[in-house]
């Protein structure tokens, strides 16, 4: 689990079982799998039965820190990827503007 995954689980627990974010809308394309991730995934795959491996591979997701941060600006829960994608450019620009200001 990533830091974002941990934080999302804590929030989901705090809102008592309702989904905070529609995580199934995110994917993890092969080009985004770095060596560290792939090494841990391979280790996990070797430790589980063969029949469960396809399910895990199909359901790999990654919600990036910028997506998690942007979720704080969305009022409607559960939060969709579309709502995050619409706000991300504005949030990223605001962060860049703040960094340049300093």
Q: By the 8 A CB rule, do 80 and 22 touch?
A: yes
Question: In this predicted structure, what is the pLDDT of residue 10?
Answer: 92
* Three-state secondary structure readout of 22-33: CHHHCCCCHHHC
Question: In this predicted structure, what is the pLDDT of residue 78?
Answer: 94
Distances (CA, A) of 10 to 21, 38, 51: 12, 25, 30
| Tokens coding 30 | 């092969």
> From the CB of residue 69, how many other CB atoms can be counted at a distance below 10 Å?
16
| Tokens coding 53 | 């491996």
Q: By the 8 A CB rule, do 32 and 62 touch?
A: yes
Q: Nearest to residue 30, comparing CAs of 58, 4, 49? A: 58
Q: Return averaged pLDDT per consecutive 10 residues of the chain, 102 residues in all.
A: 86 86 83 72 84 79 91 94 97 92 71
Question: In this predicted structure, what is the pLDDT of residue 100?
Answer: 84
């Amino acid at each position: 689990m990533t830091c974002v995954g941990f934080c999302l689980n804590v929030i989901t627990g705090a809102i008592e079982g309702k989904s905070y974010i529609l995580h199934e809308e995110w994917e993890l394309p092969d080009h985004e799998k770095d060596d560290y991730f792939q090494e841990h995934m391979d280790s996990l795959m070797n430790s589980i039965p063969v029949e469960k491996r396809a399910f895990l591979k199909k359901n790999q997701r990654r919600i990036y820190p910028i997506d998690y941060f942007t979720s704080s600006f969305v009022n409607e829960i559960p939060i969709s990827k579309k709502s995050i994608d619409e706000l991300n450019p504005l949030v990223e620009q605001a962060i860049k503007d703040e960094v340049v200001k300093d």
